Structures are given as C-alpha cells and as structure tokens.
Structure 1
Amino acid sequence: MTHGRIVLLLLTLTACSGKPYVVNPEQKGKEARLNRLFVASHGWHAGLIIPARHLNDAVPELKSRFGSVPYYEVGWGDKNFYQAREGTTRLTLQAIAWSEGAVLHVAALPSHPRVYFSGSEVAETCISETGLRSLKAFLANSFARDGAGQIIALSKGIYSDSQFYAGEGRYYLLNTSNKWTAKALRSAGFDIAPTFKLTAGSIISYLRSNQTHCDSEADDAP
C-alpha cells in the first residue's frame, strides 16, 4: 500500500470514527455561570458528571430507568472492552484497531461526586445556560437509538446503579473515551482541543489550568 493510500485510509477512519460530534454553543455575550459540572479521573478513563435533572431533560428515558437521583456520571467507550468484566490484550487491540462500535455507561450517583468518588481526583467547574444547552444536545446525540427513536439498553453497568447503552460513533486510536469527554467540554463552551486530549490526566490538567468558578448564585441543589 502506497504512502498516499495509507494517509487516505487513516483520514477516512478518523472521519468515520468522529461521531458523536461536538455541538458548538451559540455565540453570545458574557453569561452567568450557574451550572455545576464535574469530571472524575479513574486512572485511564475520565467520566463526565452532570446533575441528573439536566440529562433527564435531554434523555427522558433515563428518569424512567433510574428514578430520582442527584447525579449521573457518563462515559463513552468501545463496545466490547468497556463492557468486559476484565480487560485483556486482545480486547485492547480490538478496540484500537477494529472496534465493533461504542457504548455509553450511565451511572446514577447517590451522593455528591467528591463523596462518591472520594478515592479519585474530581475536578469541578461551572458552565452557562448556553453551554448547558449545547452540552445536553451533545450527550443526547451520543446515544444510539432504535427505529422508534428510543435509546437502547444493553448490559448492566460496572458500579453503583448503572447501565450500558448503545452509543453513537466508533472507538479508535484518535477517538477515545477521553476524547469524548473533551468533546463534551468543548460542547459546554470550553476552549479545549479534543484531538490532543487522549488521557484522563490531560483533561483534569486542562480544567485545573482553566478553572471556571461558579457565580455566587449558582444552584447547588441536584
């Protein structure tokens, strides 16, 4: 295979694996930042944590599944590797080279993220209403849907009260779980470059370096 064909193949694979796409926020003037958002680092993987009421607005089926809970943690990843109870070299290589699809992991958190993930690093930030709207659209677009437009439940999740769902897109070396989290932050209004955010640490470092404080009237209630 010639060099040109290899480059074309890589560009094609990258384009195909780009979903779900960033939802760019509307351009507006300075807005109050009243909506809290969290990212938890689990070593190799970063999870996005959002008050449940916001995601229930965008994906009402979650309220029927989880009931009244304060927070959801959402993660995106390879269909086979993420759902496996134990990762293997074969699953890792399969995820990188020939992924069969993506899943979302939604976990209902019964307490504040810093309490529930007391053993993990949790970064906190705040976003505007405009950022929240585009973030909710990005999260809703991350779920694959059946012919009736409903999200597709798969296996039970890996901790807390959690569930895997069929996801949009395809895992790839340049379209990883952490890049998905970076795309969520980009959708929420952060000037983050998802292409270069391939580790959980890089996302946490970005939030630490670009800390956005909540305005004093921010709603802390879940």
Structure 2
Amino acid sequence: MRIIKKILKYIGIILILPALYLIVSLVLTYIPVNGKQGSEEKNHTVYLSSNGVHLEIIIAKNDLNASVLKDQLNTSQAQYFSFGWGDKNFYVETPLWADLTFVNGFQALFLNTPTLLHVTRYSSMQEDWVALKVNQKQLKKINQYISATFRLNSENKKIVLPGLGYYKNDDFYEATGNYTCFNTCNSWVNTGLKQSNIKACLWTPFDFGLLSMHKNQSDK
C-alpha cells in the first residue's frame, strides 16, 4: 500500500509540474512591459513572424548594422533578414514538424542544449509579418542583441554550418546561450524586445502573446 501511495504521489507531481508551468507562463505572457514610450520619433520598422509555434524577428537590410551583416552569406539580393534562435539538434533534426520525435523534443525542453541562429533572407516584405515601429535607439539595441547572439570563432568570425539550411535563402550559425523550457526560441525574441525597450511580455515561451500585442497596436 505504501508503495502504491508513493507511486501515486510521484505521478501527481509529474502531472502538476506541467500544469503549473503552463499557468505561470500564460500569466506572465499577458503582463506587458515597456508600455510607456518616449517622445522620440519611431521612423524605423522591424517585424515579427511565426510558423505557428516559433517566432522570428525580421529587420530590413538597410536597418542592420555592420556587425550583424558581417560574414553573412548571399546577401546581394536580400532586402530583409529574419533571425530565429533555437536548440541546435532540434533545428538540424526537425526541419518539419512531421520529423519531431519524443527524444528531440525532450532534449530541447529539459536539457541545457547548445543553440543556433537561423537566418533567412527575403527579397521583399511578406504579408503575414507583424510590424513594430521603433526609434533609432531601439533599433540600435535590437541590432546589438542579435549581433551578440552569434558565436564567433578564434578569428572573430561568425560560424556558419554549410549545407544545413532548409532552402536556398537560409543558413544556420552557431549561437550563444542554451535552450531550455525556460529559455525558448520565443523567449529569445521577447528578451531582445525587452532589452531594446520595445513593448514585450514580462516573460513568455509562446509566440501568440507578442504577436497579438503588436498586431493590436498596429491596428489602432
């Protein structure tokens, strides 16, 4: 009987932890930060996009600083650059959601795993992007945040992983930081906005909080 009680206790803990994570995540997602903005003119635009789960931030080539563009591949035709951060193994082994396995998902969420920056180049703006108006200081800070996420080699060059891009217009680069369920691809974008004094969630592992926040703002 004691053994059964212990087993039930452990099962209860296992079930409670995900529920607690979800509740806390949702609460923090709907608490905005950086809501009060200064009087400086917002004459630049950055964008957010999502594949339904995973957020990326997009910046026009003319608004990217030299440190971000340095060592980038195939930039001649690109007018916009999309940046997404995530678990290295998940990116490489799961190009499609149909390729997702329990092992890949578990490792990404619960192990302190290495990361990559996924950089996609676009020749024109896409209709589903959500626009964020920013001022010059905010633009400078988000550039610095992205630049600092690239892992550099001993020669201070970005480390590209050749041949691992999904299409002809994207590449993967070694990144700083580690992926966990508390530091997800979406929280990376959210942290970048927070540090750049752009309206963001207090914390979020999801994509929908930021998307709805800025879509509603742009609709006003």
TM-score range, shorter chain: 0.7 to 0.9
1:118 aligned residue: none
Q: In structure 2, the residue corresponding to 1:91 is in which secondary structure?
A: helix
Is 1:198 paired with 2:205?
A: yes
Give runs of aligned pairs for residues 5-154 of structure 1, distance below 5 A.
29-63=38-72, 65-84=74-93, 85=95, 86-114=99-127, 121-154=128-161
CA distance in 2, matches of 1:147, 1:182: 30
Q: Check conservation: 1:126, 1:212, Cα contact below 8 A.
A: no
Distance 2:64 2:80 in 1: 9
Q: Structure 1 residues 126, 191: CA separation in 2 closer, same or farther (over 3 Å shift)?
A: closer
Partner residue in 2 for 1:163: 171
68-77 vs 46-55, which deviates more? 46-55
> Which secondary structure state, in structure 2, belongs to the residue aligned with residue 157 of structure 1?
coil
2: CA distance between counterparts of 1:79 and 1:99?
A: 11
User: Where in structure 2 are there 5+ consecutive unaligned residues?
Assistant: 1-33
Describe the shift of the 1:180–1:68 C-alpha distance in structure 2 as closer, same or farther (beyond 3 A).
same
Q: 1:63 to 1:147 in 2, by over 3 A?
A: closer
Scaled by the length of structure 1, what TM-score is found?
0.73
Asked if structure 1 preserves the Cα contact closer than 8 Å seen for 2:50 and 2:56, the reply is yes
SS at match of 2:178: coil
Quick one: structure 1 residues 166 and 205, their matched pair in 2 at CA, closer, same or farther if it must change by over 3 Å? same
CA distance in 2 between counterparts of 1:53 and 1:68 reads: 13
What is the Cα deviation at residue 63 of structure 1?
4.8
Find the residue that maps to 2:213 and give its secondary structure. helix
Q: Which of 185, 192, 197 is the equivalent residue of 1:184?
A: 192
Aligned residues: 180
SS of the residue 1:31 aligns to: coil
Deviations 1:150-207 (A, max 9, x none): 1100143224511000011000111000011112222332232352x21111110121
Tell me the amino acid that sits aligned with residue 129 of structure 2.
V
Measure how far apart 1:133 and its partner are: 0.6
CA distance in 1, matches of 2:168, 2:196: 26
Query: How far apart are the structure 2 equivalents of 1:157 and 1:64?
Result: 11
Find the residue that maps to 2:172 and give its secondary structure.
Answer: strand
Q: What is the identity, as a one-letter code, of the residue corresponding to 2:161?
A: L
Distance 1:201 1:137 in 2: 25
| Cα distance in 1 for residues equivalent to 2:61 and 2:208 | 25
- CA deviation map 1:5-30 (0-9, x unaligned): xxxxxxxxxxxxxxxxxxxx9xx952
CA distance in 2, matches of 1:103, 1:212: 33
Output the amino acid matched with 2:207: A
Contact 1:125 1:212 in 2 (8 A): no
TM-score (norm 2): 0.74
Structure 1 unaligned residues grouped into runs of 5+: 1-24, 115-120, 214-222
